[in-house]
Each structure stands twice: as C-alpha cells, then as structure tokens.
Structure 1
C-alpha cells in the first residue's frame, strides 16, 4: 500500500491563509482561501517515493475525463437538436431503499432502475440532484442535471470550470452510492437474465468507486477530478464514510450485493481498510491530542481544506461524529482505532455548549441565551485554537455567528446537535473495547 503523506503542522496563518482585509472589520478575523486542486506540479513536489502512485492516479483521471466527453460527443453526432439537460431535484428520495422486497419488482421500481441505467456515465458513476423516477436518458442528453449556481458570487469557489460539465460522476449528496444499492435491490428480484443489466451496472458502479479512491485511501467529491475543492478528500455530507460503508457491504455480500464477483469483494475489503487508515492519518492532533476531522482534507497533505465560499478549512463536528460512528462500527478495532475514537469523543464532549439556542430572531437566526437548552456544537472549529468559526458568502471569516449576513445565518446549519448519538453510544462501545486506566 502506498505510504500516507504525513500531516503537516501549520501555524494558524499558514493553515487558514487568513488574509486580513484593510480596514479590518471588527467581526471579521480573516478571509477563506480557495482549496488547491490535485495537479501534476503539486505531485512533482512530493518526495520521490510518493510520486508514482499519485501521478498514475492523475493520469487515469484525465484519461477517463476525456473518454467520458468523447462518448457524449459521439452520441451527439448527427443530431440537429440536442435534448435539454434533465431537470434537477431531489435524487435520493426517488430511489427508496426501505421498501418491501417485492416492491423492487414493481413497474414503479423498474422505471427508476431503467432511468439509473441510462444515466450511468461511461466511467461508471452517476451525477447528483436528479430525480430517477423519470423516463430514461435520451440519446445525446447530458449525463447530469444542471448543477450550476443560479447567482454565483465573483470568483465563486463553486463556479465550475466548464458550465456544461459539472459533477459528472460524484459521491456528493449520496449519488452513485444510492444508485448502486437501488440496482442491487432490483436485481435481487430478477435472479435470471432479466436482472443481469442491473447487476452489471451495479458492478460498474463499484469499479468506478474503486478507481476513484486516492492512493492514500480517501475519495474526492467528484471523479474524474473536476478541480478546486472537489479534488479534496471529502467527508462532507458523510461522503467518505458512506463509500467506505458500501465497500464493507460489497466485501461481505450484504445489502443484496452478494452477486459481486469474488475479486471485487476482495478489492472492496482492501478499499475499506485503506479508508480506515486514511481516517486515522487525517485526524488532527492539537498539542499532541487527537481531536476531529475537517469536512475536506487536502489530498496530498491531509491538512484541512476549504470548500464553498463560506466553508473554511476547519474542524467539523458533524462529519467528525459520523467518522467516529463508522470507526465504532468496525469489528475488532485496532489500538489505533480505539485511541482515535477515545480522542474524538472526548473532544466532542468538551466542545458541547448548553443554555444557548440557535433560533430565529426578527429577520434571521441568532445564537442567544436559552436556559436549559443544549447541548449544541458549532459546525466548524479553528484547527489551532478550537474556537468556533463561521464563514460568509463574501469569503469573510468570523468568530461570531451573529455577525454573518442574514442570508448565511438563515441558509446554513452553523450550530446543531449532530454529535449527540455518537456521544450517547460511546459508553457502551468503550465498555467493550477501552481498557480501564491502571
């Protein structure tokens, strides 16, 4: 297995790249920098022993990106009019995974399954935010729904390099993971030839995820790589954890995935093991103590990385809680896993605040005194000071959520209860795996 790049220790200014404005607003502590793409020049700067697997990965991504575009261009030859991109909307809800088994043999399920087959990209993945309970894709139609911003900010970090080619294959918002699992449920109802297209598509989806995995065990948000923060190791929306969990299901033949070939099960087991090592390597230490993870980590340094304009390179309580739950779910955890969970849960417990609420006051939500309320956690914490931090759409970084614009206070979950279940379940887990202090 390729060696993991070490976590670099950064000073606050270097890590957050806090470029202070002139004049500095009283409530602003810095500016959120853009994330770095995974590029050939960055790979060339790695230690010699680490370059080859990363260079091969980048070359594979670039080749697949070109092949995907060429496949769509070939379809469009001879068409006088191109079909418009399919309308966006809620995707996961159109692919339910909790129906009775016989429902997946119904015409309603088959409509969804045929749609899924038709929108699978040549690479084997799927786009996001596209309802699947609709007719199949037409010849020459885009593989994904329109994912561009409606009102982008100047130099917006979420602005795609190519407005016609964005999120063409992603694990964001449960994409690809949900399609694979839905197809497996349908295939279970058709064990013969009728189910073969669904089995083959699900297998291609798993191959896609295996190909997308970084040499260090993480997964990017978009593959083939799209650039910017999409190239980061992505824990946001639990992407990495959900892919790792799927790899475990494949390796064990669970969730109707038993039809996967033996070599794919073996590869999936290895992929999950690498993802666990990635989580252990990426967990941030502060003053020697294990703490939490960021929403995104730079693929090469594993340092916290920014994402959208208002999402700073900071530790994230919700994604950390889910990473800890995943580690707690593993059988026979190693000493390193046990220490990671102990440190992460201890940090979450220490950061909980009470007697405050994040509630609507006049035009926008505010953090206010509320006796008896809580516990609450901030979404983001500075990776050096562990103080809560908050970003605005203009890329300004703040230390008080009440100083954000009303639009961002209302439009993002800055405070929440995400870690509660992880913290509540820890004691039972620790009773089994954590040795009492001598």
Structure 2
C-alpha cells in the first residue's frame, strides 16, 4: 500500500436496505511487529518513538507510586467534570487575572502528569491535586486510562487556559503557569508520530487509542495550538523562539499527514475518517459502534481550520475544495449530515455495540439509537466559512 495516499475503489452498488452491511474491525495498535514490517529506512524513527512512549509511561507510573509509598491512605480520585471543566475561554480578558481564574490554573498545574499532558473530564474548579491522588477521575475501579490525552479537548484546553492566565500575570507571578504551559507544548511535540499524526492517548495506551485521531476534533485542536504557538502572538507571545520553531515544524508535518490521509474514492479526494491507522493512514474504526467511515462533523472542522491558514499551498487549497465538494454532496435534506458515510457507497451508515454496521438507524439497539449523535447540522458552518473563503482575493 502507498502510505502517502489512501485510495478506495469507486462506489459499489448499495446493499439491500435493511441488511447488516458488515461488522466493524478493531483498529491495530502500534507494535514492534508492525514496525518491523516497514522499510528499513523508516523503522528507526518508529522504534525510537515507541521506546520513548514506554519510558514516559513508566516514569508517569513510577512518580505516582513514589508519592503513594509513604501514604497510609490514598486520596480519592478528583471529581468528574463535564463541558469545559471550568476552563471557560469566553470571559472578559481581565477575569483571567482574578483569584477564581488563578485557582483553576493552580488546579491545572497540579494535575499535569510527569509527561506534561493532562487527563480528560476533570473538574478544574475543584481542589488542587493532593499527593498520591490520581491524575484522572474514574467511574468505577481505578485504572490507567487516558493519562494524558487529547480526547474531549483535554490537554489543549488546559494549555489554552494557562496561556490566557499567564498573559495577565507578567513577571514572577505568572512563571509557574508559563512553565507548565511550555511542558504541555513539549508534551504535544513528543506525542507526534514520525509521520506527523497524533494518537488519542500518549504515552501510548494501545488499541484504537494509538490511531491518528480526528474524532472530537482532537487533531484539529492540537494543530490549532501548534499554529498559535508558532506565531508567538497574543497569549503565546511568551514562548521562546526555539519552541515556536519546533511548533512550526510540527504543524507543517501535521498538515502533510492531513493531506496524505484525505480519503480518495474513485480517484476523487473526499474527506476523513474519525481515526486513521498510525502507520498506513488507512481509515479505521474505534469503539464497537464507530466503524471506519467518512465522517462529516470532524471533516468539516478540519476544513474550517485549513481555511484559516493565511497562505495555504496549492495542495491544501485543492484539499479544501475537494473536501467541501464531498461535504455538500453528502448533505441530507434540511442541511443535515449523517455522522458516518460508507467508504464505498457514500451512503449513511450506523454502528451498534455488537460491531454490526447498518444502513438504517432504526435497526440499532434502542440504547444506541438514543445514546449517540447520528445526525448533525454542524457542518453547515463549514459551508458558510467556505463561501467567505472563496471570496478572498
């Protein structure tokens, strides 16, 4: 397979309505065996990445174990947080210098992992982390999951909030926040794959978490932060030139893998899957009900981000036009989009917890029918942005 471009066969005849179309195949993790199958010239970079990831996880675990060694009682996990976790970014500028904002920033600094990232779904308005307390919240038994991650806006949200707070605190008062932000930026740089992609969880957790993740705008959020850091403007003016240079290089690699992973069907560029294989860039599934498929919402977000680039290359311009052509073709009546579209037929598809794939949402179990967002009008914003973008000189 040519790992530079994903090519699929031309549209196949649609399956009979009501039939199970197939079953989702789980994504493959990044392993030594898969790396060994690469050309010899590529193996070194991937082996080094995997070794660094494992060393980082070992260090994260060792740090927590060392904190707990002398404790009679381990503190409970931090409280679960929904929405923005308290890290609002729409407050008046001066608010980010208030005690309330500083408390949130102190919570963020205290829960930063030794690797430099953060877990997801933690209430950042809560108490700062206690010695020996886990980095993430749990619904049940304690486990080592999503430590750290870019899922559910994690890590990028913490970085943006720290940057906003430190901007209101020049001098020594903001040094702690700037230091944590720089560690967070290094975390993103360290998590980047040799080909420019980003896994959902780093240090690597395995399974579909190792895939390059566009789902929930994870990749887009990281790319946006890297571009802002590279420009050294506004909240990121404090970033050293060397870090900005590294961020620019990482952003350029991310744009290249974004181009390379745009799915081609019948010789025509279309959109992206929620996840792409870390090595082959092939579209892959994630959870049992999340098949490998063209996705509308994440693709729209990626296209909108590309439209914000000040001087996109001819290749990026072509990618935007092709992606928007697919998005407009995929629209359902009423300017609504299905979450997933079959990679060959381009028809809406839906997944259930038993990994079965259907062409009718009503065929799913009741729990999945009601427990997942199968349709959205969100991509309409990309249409509006595209109209404005095409009018630019």
TM range (shorter): over 0.9
Q: Kindly indicate whether residue 306 of structure 2 is the aligned counterpart of residue 327 of structure 1.
A: yes
Q: Kindly indicate whether residue 203 of structure 2 is the aligned counterpart of residue 203 of structure 1.
A: no
Q: Tell me, in whole angstroms, the C-alpha distance in 1 between the residues paired with 2:56 and 2:269.
A: 38
Q: Kindly indicate whether residue 319 of structure 2 is the aligned counterpart of residue 340 of structure 1.
A: yes
Deviations 1:30-74 (A, max 9, x none): 111111101111111111122111111111101100011011111
Deviations 1:246-276 (A, max 9, x none): 0011111234111111100011111111111
Q: Tell me, in whole angstroms, the C-alpha distance in 2 between the residues paired with 1:8 and 1:238.
A: 20
Q: Tell me, in whole angstroms, the C-alpha distance in 2 between the residues paired with 1:382 and 1:91.
A: 30
Superposed, 1:22-421 pairs within 5 Å as: 27-90=19-82, 92-146=84-138, 164-354=143-333, 374-421=334-381
Taking structure 1 as the reference length, what is the TM-score of the superposition?
Answer: 0.85
Alpha-carbon deviation of 1:381?
A: 0.9
Alpha-carbon deviation of 1:5?
A: 3.2
Alpha-carbon deviation of 1:317?
A: 0.6
Q: Tell me, in whole angstroms, the C-alpha distance in 2 between the residues paired with 1:249 and 1:74.
A: 36
Q: Counterpart of 1:430?
A: 390
Q: Tell me, in whole angstroms, the C-alpha distance in 2 between the residues paired with 1:255 and 1:129.
A: 27
- Structure 1 residue matching 2:235: 3-state secondary structure: coil
Greater relative contact order (Cα < 8 A, sep 6+) = 2
Which consecutive segments of 4 or more residues in structure 1 shift more than 3 A? 7-12, 24-27
Deviations 1:215-258 (A, max 9, x none): 11111110000011111100001110111010011111234111
Q: Tell me, in whole angstroms, the C-alpha distance in 2 between the residues paired with 1:421 and 1:25.
A: 31
Alpha-carbon deviation of 1:11?
A: 6.5
Q: Tell me, in whole angstroms, the C-alpha distance in 1 between the residues paired with 2:166 and 2:376.
A: 39
Q: Tell me, in whole angstroms, the C-alpha distance in 2 between the residues paired with 1:270 and 1:412.
A: 37
- Structure 1 residue matching 2:46: 3-state secondary structure: helix
Contact in 2 for aligned 1:124/1:208 (Cα 8 Å) = yes
Deviations 1:252-309 (A, max 9, x none): 1234111111100011111111111111000000111000100000010111111111
Q: Tell me, in whole angstroms, the C-alpha distance in 1 between the residues paired with 2:391 and 2:161.
A: 36
Contact in 2 for aligned 1:104/1:110 (Cα 8 Å) = yes
Contact in 2 for aligned 1:128/1:170 (Cα 8 Å) = yes
Q: Tell me, in whole angstroms, the C-alpha distance in 1 between the residues paired with 2:248 and 2:286.
A: 29
Q: 1:148 to 1:351 in 2, by over 3 A?
A: farther
Q: Tell me, in whole angstroms, the C-alpha distance in 2 between the residues paired with 1:340 and 1:261.
A: 32
Contact in 2 for aligned 1:113/1:198 (Cα 8 Å) = yes
Q: Tell me, in whole angstroms, the C-alpha distance in 2 between the residues paired with 1:294 and 1:254.
A: 32
Structure 1's unaligned 5+ residue stretches are 13-23, 150-162, 355-373, 434-438
Q: Tell me, in whole angstroms, the C-alpha distance in 1 between the residues paired with 2:390 and 2:94.
A: 40
Contact in 2 for aligned 1:7/1:301 (Cα 8 Å) = no
Deviations 1:86-122 (A, max 9, x none): 1212162401112112211211111111111110000
Pairs aligned (count): 387
- Structure 2 residue matching 1:375: 3-state secondary structure: coil
Q: Tell me, in whole angstroms, the C-alpha distance in 2 between the residues paired with 1:320 and 1:25.
A: 26
Contact in 1 for aligned 2:7/2:264 (Cα 8 Å) = no
Q: Tell me, in whole angstroms, the C-alpha distance in 2 between the residues paired with 1:255 and 1:307.
A: 36
Q: Counterpart of 1:5?
A: 3
- Structure 1 residue matching 2:22: 3-state secondary structure: strand
Q: 1:221 to 1:270 in 2, by over 3 A?
A: same
Q: Counterpart of 1:16?
A: none
